[in-house]
Amino acid sequence: MAPTDSEASNPVLIEGHRPVTPPDGVATWDVDPFDEAILSYPRDFYRELRAQGPFAWIPRYACLMCGRHQETEEVFSDHTRFVSSRGVGLQDFKLEKPWRPPSMLLEADPPEHTRARKVMTRALSPRVVKGLREYFRTEADKLIDRLIDVESFDVVTELAEVFPTTVVPAAIGLKENNPEFLVAYGAMVFDTVGPDNEIRRRAMAKAPDVVPWITQACTREQLLDDYIGADVHDAVTTGELNENEAAMLVRSLFSAGLDTTIAAISSAVWCLGTHPDAFAALRQDQGLAKACFEEVLRFTSPVHTFCRTANVDTEVAGIRIEADTKVICSLAAANLDEEKWPDASSFKIDRKPIGHLAFGSGIHRCVGQTIARAEVEAILTALATRVGAIEITGPATWRPSNAINGLATLPVRLTRQ
């Protein structure tokens, strides 16, 4: 049975079910964190958010928001007080119907989450990723070779989108790939974290075409034997999952595994293009690829925002948080917190920013991070070994998304070394 990702529904706010006044000691901040202008250039907003205190009250959405490292990590990692099963966007699944059947990983709590996570951890084990590394390296080398000495090309469409939408479906074993639909689906997943704004509606406009295709792509019949997708479906044979649940977990691979790495790869090229000395250091020592990616994650936060919902009356940093309160966690603001990272607004390739929140923290911490690392390190290594200079040839523009921080366009020229 396929997941019944049925018709998309817009959020319907049910009044009176959520605290509508700020807790004592929290400043009210009349701002829209999902405003396109803020999402396209968020750094000043992040600084103001941190300056508000541990939390700010956002009256427009009747939510708390945090962006200091300490409190963001506390909220994000405590799954007993701050649950995910009520959705990780502004919508409270207890009150409003989600646009798709909730993810068994992202939008779940223990014990359901634990059961799904166990299957996914096995399907994405170090042994599996080790087996993909050489394939990723070969594909990255081929792609970079093709792009070297091209007058100018767009990193987003010609490199960052091409690579994950080629190698990830291949690793999953998807029989009939459709990169355009996979990218469109990623936009739906992440833009529905936000309110019913233009950004969300634009992404959801493609749902009638894309959702049925994704639903089909997650079924056992569409997946080749002996690849990651079939490995997930093997959990049906062992009795750990039913068929519908296995398809839902494959859906998580498509949901979480593309938009995120597309943003990460384009941001990595942007970081190196704008910091030639960092690129020179990477060329000198390819061993820096790992550290470089960690700093790209901290500096750019491919997922900038997810929410949690307080399930009990509690307290964080001396602030009372009432049960049913949504907390918007700005992972990107936390990753730029000067209190945590000296000279936080500088990109330092050898910083080794242990404790960044780009992969989240706690029990939901990115289960695919080893595969993400293998992908990005393959691209960084290909650049370091083949390219002499990354020259940005036109304006870099950022794509306003309700949850992804990624470029819209990045024109560059790569010169052969």
d(C-alpha 84, C-alpha 116), whole Å: 14
Q: Quick one: residue 239, left, alpha or beta (phi over 0 = left, psi -120 to 50 = alpha)?
A: left
d(C-alpha 123, C-alpha 109), whole Å: 20
Q: Which of 52, 103, 192, 405 is in the footprint of ligand OVM by CB under 6 A?
A: 103
Is 255 an interacting residue with respect to ligand OVM (CB under 6 A)?
Answer: yes
Structure-token pair, residue 321: 């948080």
Q: Which of 215, 219, 252, 301 is in the footprint of ligand OVM by CB under 6 A?
A: 252
d(C-alpha 103, C-alpha 108), whole Å: 7
Structure-token pair, residue 389: 């200079």
Residue closer to ligand OVM (CB basis): 2 or 383: 2
Structure-token pair, residue 213: 């295709």
Number of residues in contact with ligand OVM, rule: CB under 6 A?
8
- In the beta sheet, which residues pair with residue 228? none
Q: Report in angstroms the alpha-carbon separations of 326 from 55, 82, 307, 370.
A: 12, 9, 7, 30
Residue closer to ligand OVM (CB basis): 118 or 142: 118
d(C-alpha 232, C-alpha 91), whole Å: 29
d(C-alpha 379, C-alpha 201), whole Å: 33
Structure-token pair, residue 68: 């200091």
Structure-token pair, residue 350: 């050898």
* Contact positions with ligand OVM (CB under 6 A) in 177-206: 189
Is 256 an interacting residue with respect to ligand OVM (CB under 6 A)?
Answer: yes
Q: Which of 39, 106, 272, 296 is in the footprint of ligand OVM by CB under 6 A?
A: 106
Is 219 an interacting residue with respect to ligand OVM (CB under 6 A)?
Answer: no
Q: Is the backbone peptide bond immediately before 111 cis, with ω within 30 degrees of 0? A: yes
Q: Which of 105, 172, 217, 414 is in the footprint of ligand OVM by CB under 6 A?
A: 105
Q: Which of 163-171, 249-257, 308-316, 346-354 is the region at the interface with ligand OVM (rule: CB under 6 A)?
A: 249-257
Q: What string marks each residue from 300 to 329 as x (binds ligand OVM by CB under 6 A) or -?
A: ---x--------------------------
Q: Which of 76-84, 98-106, 175-183, 344-352 is the region at the interface with ligand OVM (rule: CB under 6 A)?
A: 98-106
| Least CB distance to ligand OVM at residue 154 (A) | 25
Residue closer to ligand OVM (CB basis): 106 or 334: 106
| Least CB distance to ligand OVM at residue 402 (A) | 12
Is 165 an interacting residue with respect to ligand OVM (CB under 6 A)?
Answer: no
Task: Say which DSSP state 101 is in.
Answer: S
Residues near ligand OVM (CB under 6 A): 103, 105-106, 189, 252, 255-256, 303
